[in-house]
Structure 1
Amino acid sequence: MTEPAPTRRHFLTATALAAAGTTLGAAALTACAANDQGAKSNTTQTPAAAAPAGGGGPAVEPPVTTGEQALERLQEGNARFVSDQAGHDDEGTERRVAVSQAQHPFATVLGCVDSRVPIELVFDRGLGDLVVVRSAGEVLDHSVTGSLEFGVAELGTPLLLVLGHQRCGAVDATIKALDAEGDISYLVKALQPAVQQAAGRPGDRLTNAIHANVELVLAQLRKSAVIGPLEKSGKLKLAGAYYELDTGKVIIS
């Protein structure tokens, strides 16, 4: 996100929204869990729309059973997006009907709220393919972590990807706030460790902090009582990535 220098009002507003999100997120997760109890399956797949008479319609993709397969499918979609050949068939009426009764997404993705990083478009995916959670700078709170846990535990996605992006405004605002020794808000406090960890590294300070933030978010997620054991058991793959605004390319860490 590109935004002006941070102000106390900006960060206080962000703090209030984050607190509100925790309460609303918990209620939403409860409702989702109740509606999607039948959505789990032994293999995670992307159900294709039923082909019409005559053999037409979108092709059925093979089921995704591992995190590596899920990551490969995301990379294939991003390659189509970068080469301007995006055009997955998971967006029409047939697809909407096919996923209306149950969902079987193959990956959970945590990304930033930046309007230039629409997760489904970046990976050329459609309805029912991804569990997408977004917060400024990929900052975690109870509702964000709970939403990610819902994706990997309740819906059974074998991949959890944390996606940072080029010129992230939340991280940039944190750098400026820390340099100015201004008010420490929720966002600044959450992103401060990444800025500090990147200090002294060769290269661009902001880019280094964005990469450090992805690493720290992954470390935090591994402490989750839900996510950590799933990774250790081999049922879940955690990965980090960096999205280039200039090229549209996603680089896996």
Structure 2
Amino acid sequence: MCMTCDVRLGRRAFLGAAGLAVAATAFGGSGPSFAADGPGSGLTPDQALEKLKAGNRRYVTDAQSCVADMARRRNDTASGQAPWATLVSCADSRVPPELIFGGLTLGELFVVRNAGNTVDTAAMGTLEYGAAVLKSPLILVLGHSSCGAVAAACDVVAKNATFPGAIGPMIEPIVPAAIAARGKDGDFIDNAVRENVRRTVAKLKSAGPIIAEAVKSGTVKIVGGRYDLATGAVDIFA
């Protein structure tokens, strides 16, 4: 068992109990009234954000992967979930959210992953479900250094590049960020990574009615960040 697992076992037990209380058929019955949803994790948006930051600090200073009580945790969450944070993250294999935030376990994060951490209809519906039904208090849009999808969008802008299959349409939402970042001081791709995150955060804050209302009421907070592949650190900047 890793050192940080000892500290978190009590919290895991609480989350397991909360998860069991969440109805697995929250959208059943007469429609998405959310009447059968559960109590959530009990964390405020700021507490959830600090928990992510603390986990990333553990990962940077003493990276460990928690595996203790995995069978117990699987049983605890089989009937429901109460994730305390939602992430929009890149599909890059070097950016596994549960690991870079301190070795988290089953049922803690609700994650949307795709190349370039963009938000389409499917992603938006997932985020709305997380906010309204699962009561996840935090949404983090997480870009990362040397993102291949963002680099491709930069090539479209700077070199008029084209890409086969569905890759071209996939990176289209990132192109406006690349256009905005072009010509600015610093690294073109990294500037575009940050701009892409900022634009996605802004889009989510105005997306309605579910997420926008949750942000307005203070039950959900939306932030943006960048993960550094070399250092492992997450910079929250938006």
TM-score by length of 1: 0.74
1:206 match: 189
Identical aligned residues as a percent: 38
Q: Does 1:159 align with 2:138?
A: yes
Pick from 103, 108, 113 the counterpart of residue 129 of structure 1.
Answer: 108
CA distance in 2, matches of 1:86, 1:79: 12
Pick from 222, 234, 237 the counterpart of residue 250 of structure 1.
Answer: 234
CA distance in 1, matches of 2:171, 2:200: 14
1:50-129 aligned within 5 A: 63-64=42-43, 66-88=44-66, 92-123=70-101, 124-129=103-108
CA distance in 1, matches of 2:84, 2:96: 17
SS at match of 1:222: helix
Unpaired runs of 5+ residues, structure 1, are: 1-29, 46-62
1:3 match: none
Contact 1:78 1:122 in 2 (8 A): yes
Pick from 25, 38, 47 the counterpart of residue 40 of structure 1.
Answer: 38
Contact 1:177 1:188 in 2 (8 A): no
Letter in 2 for 1:75: K
Contact 1:39 1:103 in 2 (8 A): no
Q: Does 1:189 align with 2:187?
A: no
CA distance in 2, matches of 1:91, 1:110: 27
Seen in structure 2, the aligned counterparts of structure 1 residues 80 and 37 have a Cα distance that, compared at 3 Å, is farther
2:154 match: 175
1:222 Cα offset (Å): 1.8
Contact 1:164 1:210 in 2 (8 A): yes
1:237 Cα offset (Å): 0.4
Unpaired runs of 5+ residues, structure 2, are: 1-23, 29-33
Letter in 2 for 1:169: G
Contact 1:109 1:163 in 2 (8 A): yes
Pick from 224, 227, 245 the counterpart of residue 207 of structure 2.
Answer: 224
CA distance in 2, matches of 1:69, 1:204: 33
1:26-37 aligned within 5 A: 33-34=27-28
SS at match of 2:206: coil
CA distance in 2, matches of 1:177, 1:32: 42
Seen in structure 2, the aligned counterparts of structure 1 residues 113 and 91 have a Cα distance that, compared at 3 Å, is farther
TM-score by length of 2: 0.79
